[in-house]
Amino acid sequence: MRIFDPHIHMTSRTTDDYQAMYDAGVRALVEPSFWLGQPRTSPASFYDYFDALLGWEPFRASQYGIAHHCTLALNPKEANDPRCTPVLDALPRYLVKDSVVAVGEIGYDSMTPAEDHALAAQLQLAADHGLPALVHTPHRDKLAGLHRTIDVIRESNLPPEFVLLDHLNETTVKAATDSGCWAGFSIYPDTKMDEDRMVTILKNHGTEKMLVNSAADWGKSDPLKTRKVADAMLKAGFTEDDVDQVLWRNPVAFYGQSGRLQLDTPAPDALHEGNSILRGGE
């Protein structure tokens, strides 16, 4: 079984997670830039973070046989902080990098005017660079947030097939798929979507343009949720081909629109900027 996790924050995860993901079948992932929990106080800390998503983290992933790509953006939460918004002006020089396969995560957190501005500006950046966009839908007030998100996408120059609407659930899946966008589901322990609810959604709405991710980060989350959904699908009577479509071919087709996916994992370099993941002397 081959698995592509289309949304996971490896910066917050350990080498044990990389190993366990490889053992479970994960061969490729996309790491969206996001809020790190601790608020940033200047654009410079975004740039070091973007550089890590372009350099250090792909290096770490390659040590475990996993292809790493990223999406870059000013995240919805920090779009409200005027200390951070100059990032919007610097993004064009990052969006031309080889392993950037989308603009993201963008979208709404609290649906403020500052978030309106950042979302519209970054959808335009995606259109300008021929890139897809990964759009986070709000965790509160979900359906209203989704409708407002879809309205902004419709007014943008980015076609819906270049948009992945993420963090969907039973209440938002229909509006999302009707919009022509791709549909993403984040499977979390305890809260929000779990693997059995995901299987029911796939039974009711089919496997076309549907993506499943772990969205694992610094919070309570599980980087093996993609594999657990695959196993739940097989147990519920889906075929191996259905699993391959949802867990591999759909994310490849969506991010492949960037023209930048490199899925063969070359032999890893021993060092990145003089550093290895080994402890000194090993």
* Contact residues for Zn ion, defined by CB under 5 A: 34, 215
Q: What is the C-alpha separation between 220 and 4, in angstroms, rounded?
A: 21
Is 33 or 245 the residue whose CB approaches Zn ion more closely?
Answer: 33
Query: With 0-12 CB in 10 A as exposed, 13-18 as middle and 19+ as buried, what is 80?
Result: middle
Provide the 8-state DSSP code for 168: -
Least distance from C-beta 6 to Zn ion, angstroms? Answer: 11
Which has the closest alpha carbon to 94: 125, 66, 56, 116? Answer: 125
Which residues fall within 8 angstroms of residue 119, CB to CB, at 6 or more apart? Answer: 76, 79, 106, 107, 108, 135, 149, 152
Is 137 or 245 the residue whose CB approaches Zn ion more closely?
Answer: 137
Least distance from C-beta 8 to Zn ion, angstroms? Answer: 8
Is 34 or 94 the residue whose CB approaches Zn ion more closely?
Answer: 34
For 4, the 3-state DSSP assignment is strand
Least distance from C-beta 215 to Zn ion, angstroms? Answer: 5
Please check whether residue 213 is in contact with residue 187, taking contact to mean a CB–CB distance below 8 angstroms.
Answer: yes
Least distance from C-beta 282 to Zn ion, angstroms? Answer: 33
Least distance from C-beta 78 to Zn ion, angstroms? Answer: 13
Is 179 or 213 the residue whose CB approaches Zn ion more closely?
Answer: 213
> In what order do the strands lie in the sheet containing 133-136?
3-5, 26-32, 67-72, 100-107, 133-136, 163-166, 182-186, 210-213
Is 218 or 234 the residue whose CB approaches Zn ion more closely?
Answer: 218
Least distance from C-beta 216 to Zn ion, angstroms? Answer: 9
Please check whether residue 5 is in contact with residue 21, taking contact to mean a CB–CB distance below 8 angstroms.
Answer: yes
Is 72 or 243 the residue whose CB approaches Zn ion more closely?
Answer: 72
Please check whether residue 174 is in contact with residue 146, taking contact to mean a CB–CB distance below 8 angstroms.
Answer: no
Beta bridge partners of 71: 32, 102
